[in-house]
Amino acid sequence: MAVSRRGVLIGALAGGGLMLAYGLRPNPSSVPLEAGRGEVAFDGWIKIANDGVVTVAVPQVEMGQGVTTIIPQVVAYELGADWRQIAVEPAPPSPVYANYPLAARWAPMWMPVAADWIGGEGSPIVRRWARANRFTATAEGTALAAYEAPARSAAASARALLCMAAAERWDVDWEECDTRDGFVFHEGKRLSFGPLAAEAADRDPPSSPVLRDMPPAETPAELPVGAPVRVPRLDLPSKVDGTYQFGGDVRLPGMVYAAIRHGHIGRAQFAGYEKDAARGVRGLVALVRNPRWVAAVASNWWAAETALTRVDARFSATDRADSTAISEALDDALRTGEATRIHSQGDPEAFLSGTMPLQLRYEVAPAVHATIETATATARLGKDRLELWVGTQAPQSVREAAAQAIGLDVEQVILYPMPLGGSFDRRLEHDHAIEAALIAQACKRPVQLVWSRTQEHVAGWPRSPAAAVLYGNVDAEGRLGGMRVRIAVPPAAREFGRRLFDGDAPYEAIDAVAGEADAMAIEGAVPPYTIDHLAVDHVPATVPLPAGRMRGNAHGYTAFFVESFMDELARNAGREPLAYRMAMLGNDPRLAECLQRVAALSGWDGGGADSGQGIACHAMGNGRIAVVASARREAEGVRVSRLSAAVDLGRIVNLDIARQQIEGGLIFGLGLALGCSTGYEAGLPMTGRLGALGLPILADCPAIEVDFVSSDAEPEDPGELGVVAVAPAVANALFSATGIRLRQLPLFSEEV
């Protein structure tokens, strides 16, 4: 694969980057990067060319979150590079890029028996597992937590080597030199990185590279809304002009196209089709059968889809997904299921035996991801290797699953990691890549598989449905003395882990974890407030619908439960909702500040009757957010006209990307609040089109304003945090605007 240095630079600065093969080269753990002509590699993160171009390896997939800008920005800052000469390429498979923080968070998935004692990201067990499995999954906003420190260390080491090379030429002490804008400086002298790179790479790096005094950061005061962007996104220009390459843009010589029909959502098996009915379809190449799906291969996708429609594939299925059965299973679990206590404080048993005047039930329907690009994978199978072009959040898992499916060794699978047009954790699953590999094996030609939107809803597992009952024990003045949260939800995280790490089929995973407690399935249910007596219980429910990960994950519904309940507690006590929350936040001043700021930003008037304002807040990792939603009555119904948010993300590396992610998260959260769901009947989704999901279109989008709090706390990912507090804020606003309390997501499912 010959690519010029100039091609790399232009591609990176235009946002396209350099698509290198994941698995094409040997990967020694010492220096896994392969230097091209005229460049040298510095450990696993940095290459410098003789023309001064600095290429940064990024182990995470770009899916709109800006990771191919954030990690290079960290390197450029520490190295002293010129941002105009920064290029980026996907990191090759190597233990060097193991995502330790995510491996530690997901320990209950890959080692459920011992997850409580193996320790955090520094644990030798976690590190050994992550390195052995080349675990670089992109999820839960762990890019900075996992990669900022090693990227900074690598850049500091390369900076020292460049200074050493320059100092020898000048006959000065290298520690008196420094770097800036792609040059090494000493008093009035300077040398470009390019001519020094080869000499620098031949030297021994310092055992402990010295980092710059302060980590990279941008403060809100320095960069108010409208200020020039200091570090433009590398991927933005080509996304604007349409030259950015996604999975569906791949074209190979002799490539054909595949469409697919999956069996019903349930324990489905192929039962037959009318094969002869497809003979008249021009361009049809083959029909490929599998126990759980049927695919048609043709010279174009529409011909393949037409052939599938004509053959009318049939599947037999038991335990078919059905909305009524799902609701009944949640209701039964909530009323009579055996609970596992996930969290308690104070004396919850004494509290539970006392008077509990307020007891309220909330419910959340399954939520689909609604990605712009449906599942797409391109496969080419040769004599001794399989090539895959696919956007994935878990690249090593894709390679392993595809290799097993067609009988190859994992080192024979070459993955070309494609960026994603929004994933929201949907592309943590790899079923479409396995299908593409099997279809390519069957038809012996390169094939591109594209799922239709309906098939995305049939086989793309949604965020799990959930139901909860919250109990509040209040005194005569309305003060909350004790609280119990009882949530019925499938052990969705463990179910997902069985698919990802153990290779289980969807219903095998459901069976394997049935009845197990899953703390990850109710993350965020512990309120940030000071409550003397608190109990949080998980009731594992078994529903006939596989569950997947989604942006915000459990926080997306636990925040809705808790913050809706807090609003109802305040109103039952005759208290102003903001003041009611503030009185219980003595132990979380950061969240209290977010509430105060959002009140000022939004012109909060107390959220009284007919004000149309609702407030909610949430803590997630190191991040804090408070949201005020403003709703108004219109002839067509109720419209959310404004979303105001105050956010504490800790230290912010790139403020422009942080603002983009918070704003995008607010809109995503609005979609989850008002739609983004489908019912199920007889094992099929009742909604098969993107336009029928009730997503906010441009004309519906409210005005958005975001205020960032300057903070020295550790960074938190903005993409997840922005989603979680929108639904309760909107529900509380709709109560203020209409006097009707909505306790089910999506909110309009209750037909207000």
The pLDDT score that the predictor gives to residue 750 is 57
Tokens of 710: 């300057």
Is the separation of the CB atoms in 435 and 295 below 8 Å?
yes
Q: What is the DSSP letter of 463?
A: B
- Residue 488 CA to residue 363 CA, distance in Å, equals 9
Report d(CA 157, CA 172) in Å as an integer. 19
User: For the purposes of burial, counting CB atoms within 10 Å of the CB of 740, is it exposed (0-12), middle (13-18) or buried (19 or more)?
Assistant: exposed
Task: Sort strands 533-540 and 480-489 into parallel, antiparallel or unpaired.
Answer: parallel
Report the DSSP beta bridge partners of residue 318.
Answer: 267
Cα-Cα end-to-end distance for the chain: 58
- State which H helix or E strand residue 328 sits in: helix 323-336
pLDDT at 478: 82
Looking at residue 748, its pLDDT comes to 76
> So what's the pLDDT on residue 479?
86
The residue type found at 334 is L
In whole angstroms, give the CA distance from residue 494 to residue 517.
9
User: What residue ranges define each of the domains in the chain, with the CATH number in brackets?
Assistant: 21-98+134-219 (3.30.365.10), 247-318+375-450 (3.30.365.10), 337-367+462-750 (3.30.365.10)
- Determine the pLDDT at residue 158: 97
Token pair recorded at residue 691: 């336009």
Q: What pLDDT, on the 0 to 100 scale, is given for residue 454?
A: 96
Report d(CA 564, CA 583) in Å as an integer: 17
Looking at residue 8, its pLDDT comes to: 34
How much is the pLDDT for 34?
Answer: 87
* 448, 377 contact by CB (below 8 A): yes
**For the chain, which residues score pLDDT lower than 70?**
1-31, 354, 635-637, 750-752
Matching residue, tokens 């107390």: 606
- Give the pairing of strands 466-474 and 480-489: antiparallel
Q: How far is CA 233 from the centre of its chain?
A: 19
CA distances in angstroms from 523 to 121, 349, 697, listed in the order given = 19, 22, 30
User: By C-alpha distance, which of 605, 720, 712, 694 is closest to 648?
Assistant: 712
**Dist CA 130 CA 529 (whole Å):** 35
List the structure tokens of 145. Answer: 């937590």
